Structure 1
Amino acid sequence: MSIDESTAARVAKLARIKVEPERLPALAVEFNTILGFIEQLSEVDVDGVEPMTSVTPQRLKRREDIVTDGSQQEAILTNAPDAREGFFAVPKVVE
């Protein structure tokens, strides 16, 4: 794929980057260089390579799932316009 000056101008407009008309040929060359590099990446054999999120193996720190501010059912239901039997009551919407 090759990028010409009009395509480079369109990409700059979509990215909301002001590019002077005399800089468009250089921008098109830069885009073509980037696309060439991306095409080279498609030639790399990655069969059997595990996907990774970081170059160093690490696990995220986890915390225990403990309720720390629970048992407030009555306080929460005081804000409800209609509460019955410990639940929010809502109008029936299905006939």
Structure 2
Amino acid sequence: MSITIQTRFAVDRNQNRKIEPDEIVKFAELSALDENKDQILEGTELTGIHYEYGKDVWAPADAPHVEAEQGVACTIKVQRIRLEDGGLDLNINCNYFPRLA
């Protein structure tokens, strides 16, 4: 399944797990992090990269991000960022917990 979304990216340069305004980058700037120059960021190349999830919620690209609301818990994991076409491959797994609703 393919859907189109827009998101901003940031690089946590000071490694404080908080995104400062000056750490928000243009998509093209992510290519500097492509260690093997294959136009794909994955694995350790995702370290320090965050993507905006919602308004001013920054999720790490190198670790699962969990969102829970009204009995539904979703785990979102970035598999890769495709630099050539601007794609972001995500693995999204949602579970419904009726007792939490």
Normalised TM-score (structure 1): 0.18
Structure (1 or 2) with the greater strand fraction: 2
Which structure dedicates a bigger proportion of its chain to helix? 1
Higher relative contact order structure (alpha carbons within 8 Å, sequence separation ≥ 6)? 2
TM-score of the superposition, structure 2-length normalised? 0.18
Larger Rg: 1
